[in-house]
Structures are given as C-alpha cells and as structure tokens.
Amino acid sequence: MAHLILASSSPRRRELLQQLGLQFDVFSPEVDESVLIGEGIAGYVQRLACIKADAISAQFPDAVVIAADTSVGVEGKILGKPESKQHAFEMWQAISGRKHDVFSGVCVGTSKQKSSIVVQTQVEFQSLTLNDMEEYWATGEPVGKAGAYAIQGIAARYIPRIDGSYSNVVGLPLYETIQLLKALKVLN
C-alpha cells in the first residue's frame, strides 16, 4: 500500500483513522485559516482541506495525503474554535435549543491527483442554561474545538440526536474518506 500521511495535528482525526486499521504518518501543515469574503461554510472547509493536502504533498510527492477541516455552521455563520470563554458562551447561545450543521471538507490525493468532498451532519443541541455553560467550560473540553464542543466527550450529554455521520462531527467522516481512497485506487 502507498505511504499514507494524515495532514492534521488533531488527535481525534488520528484516532478515527486508526479505527480503520490504516498505517499512516502525521504531519501538520501551517496554513492560513482565514475565511475569504463571501465564502460559504462548505466551500471554506473544502478549500482548507485541499490547501492542507497540497502543502503536505509538496513535501512528500510520493505519499497519499489525507487532509480535513471541520467547522460548525449556524444560519450561514461559521463557528470556529473559541477564542475565549465569552466567545464559547456566544457560540453555545447560538446553537442552544436548536439544530446546527457540522461540515467537514476532506481531500485525499498525491502530488499528481486529488479528490475532495464535503460532508454535512445536522446536530441537535438541547437548551443550555448559564449553569450548563459554566460547568462545561470548567471541564476544559471546549478549548480548541469547532463550535466549542466535542460530541465524543462530555458534550454528548447535551446532544439528543444527529442526522448524518457521527465521525464527521468528531472531525473526519470515515465512510467518505475510505470512498476517496478507493476512488484513487489506494484501497480496494
């Protein structure tokens, strides 16, 4: 099998990919994650995934690179990682008691060819009280997470249902990633 590289520093993506029994190395590219003017959420995550893949492919031209980017969207707004406690609270107020979408862009490729996809999952969040928010923030879990929550952790207590891929909400839609690898003839 080809040399696989995961272009991400996310421990969650690493764990998800390990679930599939694949052998891979990890290299995390430095990329500008600024949102372009007028850019939608789906376009944003797909563009970032492809930029990450291209950056690592340039360093390892014979490798197959898997790159991803995940963002939470509500009413067309991108909710990235919280910059502060107040920012996290603002995000939770935006998703509290309603549904929102989690988008992941995945790009798989080599220096010669690549393929990408965007996966969308709808997540329902319960109404959060100020006490819920204070307690969740105190756990430290929201730091560094898109939308300021981790479905695979404590935040699961606030999520009554999802519609779509669970692994997408964690950060890497596994089924779709495998399909991209198969399309590039990396896997059978």
Which residues participate in catalysis according to the annotation?
A: 69
Match 């879990």 to its residue by tokens.
141
Contact residues for 135 (Cβ-Cβ < 8 A; gap 6+): none
Please give the Cα distance from 117 to 66 (Å, whole number): 12
Please measure the distance between the N-terminal and C-terminal CA atoms of the chain and give it in whole angstroms. 10
Side-chain half-sphere exposure of 91, counting CA atoms within 13 A: 26
Please give the Cα distance from 21 to 181 (Å, whole number): 14
* 54 in Cβ contact with 108 (< 8 Å): no
With the C-alpha atoms ordered 134, 138, 141, 143, is the resulting torsion angle positive or negative? positive
- Three-state DSSP class for 66? strand
Tokens of 27: 């290299």
- Percent of the chain that is helix, strand, coil (3-state, to 5): 40, 25, 40
